[in-house]
A and B are shown apart, each in its own frame.
Chain A
């Protein structure tokens, strides 16, 4: 168990837990305040289970007034607050702060309004990603960003992490699909950021809020953009004898002027794990499998699939399969979307990396990962959003074996540094959270990190919202510098 840090001087200033609980009890219904250890336990971590901490309390407010009241109490007492959606995040963005309050938005589950003509949905932050598309389906509209956790993850969490998905090359990230946020600042003040117009006067605070990992404000309401459902979609699955050929095929498709709706790659180890799980009929002998999807009008899809098939074959695809029905298309995707749990079945524990790299460096990066895998004696499967360069190496380990967790963490750190070395980033869509906070020192200079702290302070001058996440303090970097990696 690795507890997250919290400055000792502040701890001294914080009034006793009992006093805080008493004040929270005055603003929340009894069932909306959890403080017994067994009730706090389910909140001790998010999807990043290697890091756990018990907060002082969990608040489950039911309306905006209660959120504001909780924030005001915590603000007055200088108690840290960590907002939480479904807890599916993979970087520890919702890991509790030990002497803080977890603010769960789980009760905010209402879809407030769908305006089909304006193609907007106004929803509460605890609404699940997929529930929006399900509700919009009546109007032949959907919410485009589709993280693999979309069955469970909430839109509030998506905003916090700027979540992507397998279709974001063509349809964009959360950032490109959110119009407006209603946000409570740490001092309890409620502001509107963005609007139902296409732009707003002043600085683009919406861009800052999206992907801010719960550090700038608490999202109370989200207006998302809805996209017309394509008339039809088809996916071609190609097998390659080398990942380099598969990477070249991706480049060829994009050079030909095609932006596929989805473009995903899995290596042999990932494919094997997935096939065993979903039985999608993947080619188990291939070094890499590529899924390329086209969507749109039937004629358009036929044209694009034909062009892509030629390009895939020209670049060494030795087998092509084109989905012949919607059921088959979904089956091909089911495997890719279940890649993480599938790998979870073949190893007691795994860690998911999330670097983005310029695709031209793919073969170098995968070769280096294979070398590191041998060096650290840990298996690693690779799942790749090939269109946009976002690579998910899944490091397999067994936490019960002494030292293996530490080895996995060290292996992961090497991969992140490698991503930065080739001109990429340590995180494409999962966020920095706790997990990658030290590697931020590799990607950013002291001055750049100072600016991030200043951005946080512009919204949260007392540094109470999700403190210690995403942006390292100089001491993190000096510790990390001892290992020879930080800027």
Chain B
């Protein structure tokens, strides 16, 4: 495997822009793809798995599916449910930092990152974090890497915290208009209910519960609604995670609005699908970039052009100058020659 490392190093030391890529499942995401491709898939494999310590370590090119199969044999999962979108690799999952349906209750991908081995823009192998759950030695660089879209370095290996597979699950469905659904999701989230995921679309709120059998049974009785049969429920949440439902089909631009969960219904052109208890709102339609961003900012959040559309208006909400300055300095330190995924996150980085 050291051959792989040496090859990565020599490519990086050429100091030419590189487009880091695993399974290519998120090629659609972020700014323009620039530079020569560096494929991480040859650097693959689970390096360590300690089920009773709740930690798994894998090389960047390991398929997410392979990692999840290994966890399944010990009835464990990545509770943040990062999407596969095809052939996602572990490195890409961490670089993109995307989380799935359970994010609002189980935490984000970043929350589960324990350690990252990275190669910086000068070909140096660096280890941050580790394989233990509590670790405050040095700045939390491993979590900084999560969601940095490969712009700070080449991820070589990651350690992730894993959780037990929930003992029991149930999915309930309610007919509710958006305002009442938002209110209900927020109220339930403030109660000791084993809430795992929520999805609202076309006046239907779907609720997923995960937890101990007794807790699920009690919650189903208290909450009411229509219980969805298990196979249908499983495929519903999987399709939402992978964005394979009808809502996500077609070529219309897909916007992702990340907002405070209590933000009232937003009157925006196009259709909406709401997840994460109100904190993640998907919008299909060619809305005006500036007004969308303004609406999101006014509500205390931000808007991302997630898929399709015209990227000339910027994929991610722009940063205030002081924050961009910090970003620029970080980028300069990790990648002084601008090798890694230039422009994928912001044109300046």
Contacts and interface: CB of A to CB of B under 8 A. Distances in A.
The answer to whether A and B come from one shared complex is yes
Interface of A: 115-119, 139-141, 161-162, 164, 168-169, 172-173, 175-176, 185, 189, 191-193, 195-205, 207-208, 210-212, 216, 226, 228-231, 250-252, 254-255, 257-259, 296-297, 299-300, 302-304, 356-360, 385, 388-390, 423-432, 436, 440, 443-445, 447-449, 451-452, 454-459, 461, 470-471
Contacts of B167: 257
Contacts of B146: 204, 207
Contact of A431 (B111, B136, B163): B136
Contact of B135 (A139, A302, A428): A428
A445 to B, nearest CB: 8
A461 B332 CA distance: 13
B25 interface: no
B218 A297 contact: yes
A254 B137 contact: no
A203 B333 contact: no
Contact of B136 (A139, A193, A231, A427): A427
Contact of B134 (A201, A212, A229, A388): A388
B132 A388 contact: yes
Nearest to A443: B137
Interface stretch (B4-12, B46-54, B283-291): B46-54
A222 B128 CA distance: 26
B164 interface: yes
Interface stretch (B200-208, B234-242, B246-254, B297-305): B297-305
10 contacts: A199-B108, A201-B302, A231-B192, A255-B52, A257-B167, A360-B52, A389-B133, A390-B133, A428-B136, A458-B326
Given A195-B300, A254-B54, A427-B137, 20 more contacts: A119-B190, A169-B133, A195-B302, A196-B300, A202-B316, A203-B147, A205-B323, A207-B146, A255-B52, A296-B212, A299-B217, A358-B50, A358-B132, A388-B134, A389-B132, A440-B137, A444-B137, A448-B127, A448-B128, A452-B141
B335 to A, nearest CB: 11
Contacts of B97: 199, 204
Nearest to A174: B136
Instruction: Report, as a range, how many residues of chain B touch the other chain.
Output: 35 or more
Contacts of A119: 186, 189-190
Instruction: Give 4 nearest A-B pairs by CB, closest first.
Output: A299-B214, A454-B333, A428-B134, A207-B143
B130 interface: yes
B107 A172 contact: yes
B213 to A, nearest CB: 7
B259 interface: yes
Interface of B: 50-55, 74-75, 97, 103-104, 107-108, 110-111, 120, 124, 126-128, 130-141, 143-144, 146-148, 152, 163-165, 167, 183, 186-187, 189-194, 211-215, 217-218, 258-262, 276, 279-280, 300-302, 304, 316-320, 322-324, 326-327, 329-330, 333-334, 345-346
Please indicate which of the listed interface residues A173, A200, A230 has the most CB atoms of chain B within 10 Å of its own CB.
A200
A451 B53 contact: no
Contacts of A454: 329-330, 333-334
Contact of B131 (A198, A358, A455): A358
A207 B218 contact: no
Which of B127, B132, B300, B323 gathers the greatest number of chain A CB atoms within 10 Å? B132
B215 A430 contact: no
A295 B283 CA distance: 38
A198 B108 contact: yes
A374 B119 CA distance: 43
B135 A296 contact: no
A340 to B, nearest CB: 17
Contacts of B320: 191-192
B262 A117 contact: yes
Contacts of A210: 140
A359 B131 CA distance: 11
Given A198-B280, A428-B134, A302 B214 contact: yes
Given A356-B133, A385-B134, A443-B137, A141 B214 contact: no
Contacts of A303: 212-214
Nearest to B315: A201
For A185, A430, A451, the residue with the greatest tally of chain B CB atoms inside 10 Å of its CB is A451
A297 B192 contact: yes
A359 B193 CA distance: 31
B186 A300 contact: no
Nearest to B110: A204
B190 A116 contact: yes
A431 B193 CA distance: 34
Contact of B259 (A192, A197, A423): A197
